Chain A
Amino acid sequence: MSQADFTVDVFQNEYLPEGSRDVNAIVTVTSVADPASAPPGGPGGLGGPSGLSELAEIIIIDCSGSMNAPPGKIAEARAATAAAVDVIRDGVAFAVIAGTETARPVFPQDGSMAIAGPQTRQAAKKAVGGLRPAGGTAIGQWLRLAHQIFTEDPAGPGHHPGHTQVRHAILLTDGKNQHETPEQLAGAIAVCEGVFSCDCRGVGTDWEVAELRRISAALLGTVDIVPDPGGLAADFEAMMETAMGKQIADVALRVWTPQHASIRFIKQVAPAIEDLTGRRSPAGPQAGDYPTGAWAPGESRDYHVCVEVSPAGVGQEMLAARVSLVAATPSGPQVLGQGLVRALWTDDEALSTRINPHVAHYTGQAELAEVIQEGLQARKEGDEDTATAKLSRAVALASEAGNEGTAKLLAKVVEVDATGTVRLRKKVEDADEMALDTRSTKTVRTRK
């Protein structure tokens, strides 16, 4: 009765020197590519006509006064929203929200969700075309309205019994969250956690990377900069297309560890770094669930799991972690795949000193993201020495790992002379610095 299956591959050096406690592994999780293998929505299935989940989409557009400057910005945002609306598949529930110091439904105007079709898409685009910027920015209010629409709409697909639903939002802003406190925003994020996922985009350079990253990290989405409003339409279309593929709802990584063991960290390390350690919710004895959000068929992600165990003797073997993929289904949680992280103590140093290349690679990538963010922070604070040191390390790590995307972004902030000495560039475009910051967590995979 299995439907959306996952494969779980574990990469590690299971041999530990005597007395050693830390077990590291890279766990690659891949959802099986063939959605046809899913039975059509039968009992125990994940629901929906294709055997997969139903989708619901909300687009949240910043309509604060600053969207008027430059004057083309709101026009591009309207065009981008229209482009995204065009990509929404027939039958998907959707809505559009305009955000200022408060939030209001733009389409449908009564705060419900419409079912996508030729007429509703047309009507939505017409409503979006009438958006005029005026007012402030209170992103928490926008999120709360999205939450209300997702959960309260009586016609929404979430109310079809027996169906699970993938809820996704796109949030666009061009400014800082000025008209509410950080606590108000944090409260709104907490309400939305686990209810819907949210991809955040900042247009221009007057917004705060850390602020949007807080939202996207908690709501299991992405964050990126769109420096030029002209690039919005293509970006929105791509985001919506990705969202349309995410048909497997609410998958959690369930990690069992032995008695007296503790989890040092669990991070998603590819396609981007997200620390999940603090996101644990208990799931039975010695086990906890870490949210991963929705998955598309064929999608693959890597996780770095680090467990501290109490060491056994040489020659003994212990299971350090049992990593399962668990989906919430109407009939209860269902295990969709499983991998084992093992520990085997040895006195053979040739075995225990081997470093697993995948573990090493992602340890370097995590450090890369960290030194970039620290380096940029130091630069902001005027601490040039620390900034230079951190970003030099970043240059070295990026080249070691073959992370060309990040290397290219780094080159816009620092210059490397013929002797290999790294210097901060005197003049750096805000957009380049923000692009480096937002994209610093993107990793490259060691293999296909």
Chain B
Amino acid sequence: MLTCPAGHDSASSDFCDVCGMRMGGAPEAASPVAPEAAPSQEPEPAADPCPRCGTGRSGQFCEVCGFDFESRSGSPGATGAAVPGSGSAPAGARTATGWVAEVAADRAYFDKVVAQGGADAGTLRFPAYCPRRRFRLTGPEVRIGRRSVQRGIEPEIDLTGPPADPGVSRMHAVLILEPDGSLTVIDPGSENGTLVNGSEIPVGVKVPLAEGDSIQLGAWTVITIRAAHI
């Protein structure tokens, strides 16, 4: 039985049977010192795999199992041995270096749109099935829209579907990762407008976003903003 760089037993000699990492090929990189709230978007190369699950280290906590590399203890919130104050810790407690947009279908919003009785309200249908999709926001700009080959629009958050939301413009809105790490949204002039937490935002004006904010657009699309602890 062989042992992979992360300490798993593996019968295969090319890649680890458990974590899939290349056997015996882990490059010996500078061992990362405690990344003190590093402003850098790029964490240390994960030469330091999590001793519990083998996931490459990318911050204080293992992204997969929550192992705390600094105190060498277990999952925050999972056991009593957790680091104090790090349960479902507020973003400030960790280095919130990224954002994630979660796309879903919002029934209540849809009902409101239909109730407003726009020209096409009668033809709108709420999708029977809409899987929740997550987009990791990598800056500086993340466009929300629907892909159009003819017009050369390739939005990073492509709502082409299925299910297709007929009310989303090809180029509907743009999420902007500000240099200070905060997030704003701008509607460059979409056909049907954009709502943040239920109120319509003016065209062409940056609106700041925070963890948990929701952006509603089209007939039923809701995008929830989450801070990613990476």
Contacts and interface: CB of A to CB of B under 8 A. Distances in A.
B129 to A, nearest CB: 13
B141 to A, nearest CB: 16
A18 B55 contact: no
B19 A258 contact: yes
B15 A310 contact: no
A309 B43 CA distance: 18
B22 A258 contact: no
Interface centre among B20, B26, B27, B150 (most CB of A within 10 A): B20
Contact of B20 (A19, A319, A396): A319
Contacts of B63: 310
- In the complex, the 9 A-B pairs of residues with the closest C-beta atoms, listed nearest first: A313-B46, A258-B20, A319-B15, A312-B56, A313-B45, A319-B20, A317-B22, A313-B56, A318-B20
Contacts of B17: 256, 285-286
A261 interface: yes
B14 A312 contact: no
A136 to B, nearest CB: 31
Given A19-B138, A316-B27, A340-B15, A261 B56 contact: no
Interface in A341-390: 347, 370, 374, 383, 386
B46 A312 contact: yes
Contact of B136 (A19, A257, A340): A19
A401 interface: no
Nearest to A371: B162
A400 to B, nearest CB: 8
Nearest to B98: A19
Interface of A: 17-19, 21, 256-261, 285-286, 309-320, 322, 340, 347, 370, 374, 383, 386, 396
B22 A259 contact: no
Contact of B21 (A285, A317, A383): A317
Given A312-B55, A340-B15, A318 B21 contact: yes
B55 A260 contact: yes
Contacts of B57: 313
Interface string B12-47: 001111111110011101000000000000111111
Interface in B140-168: 149-150, 162, 166
B18 A258 contact: yes
Contacts of A260: 53, 55, 64
A315 B64 contact: no
A360 to B, nearest CB: 12
A78 B209 CA distance: 70
A193 to B, nearest CB: 23
B116 interface: no
Nearest to A374: B162
A17 B138 CA distance: 11
B41 to A, nearest CB: 9
Given A260-B53, A319-B15, 15 more contacts: A19-B138, A257-B20, A311-B58, A312-B49, A312-B56, A313-B56, A315-B45, A316-B21, A316-B26, A316-B56, A317-B22, A319-B21, A340-B14, A370-B162, A383-B123
Contacts of A340: 14-15
Nearest to A342: B15
B47 A313 contact: yes
B76 interface: no
B230 interface: yes
Contact of A259 (B15, B19, B44): B19
Contact of B230 (A19, A258, A386): A19
A18 B136 CA distance: 12
A313 B123 CA distance: 48
A285 B166 CA distance: 43
Contacts of A396: 149-150
A315 B27 contact: yes
A322 B166 CA distance: 40
A278 to B, nearest CB: 13
B54 interface: yes
A311 B56 contact: yes
Contacts of A310: 55, 63-64
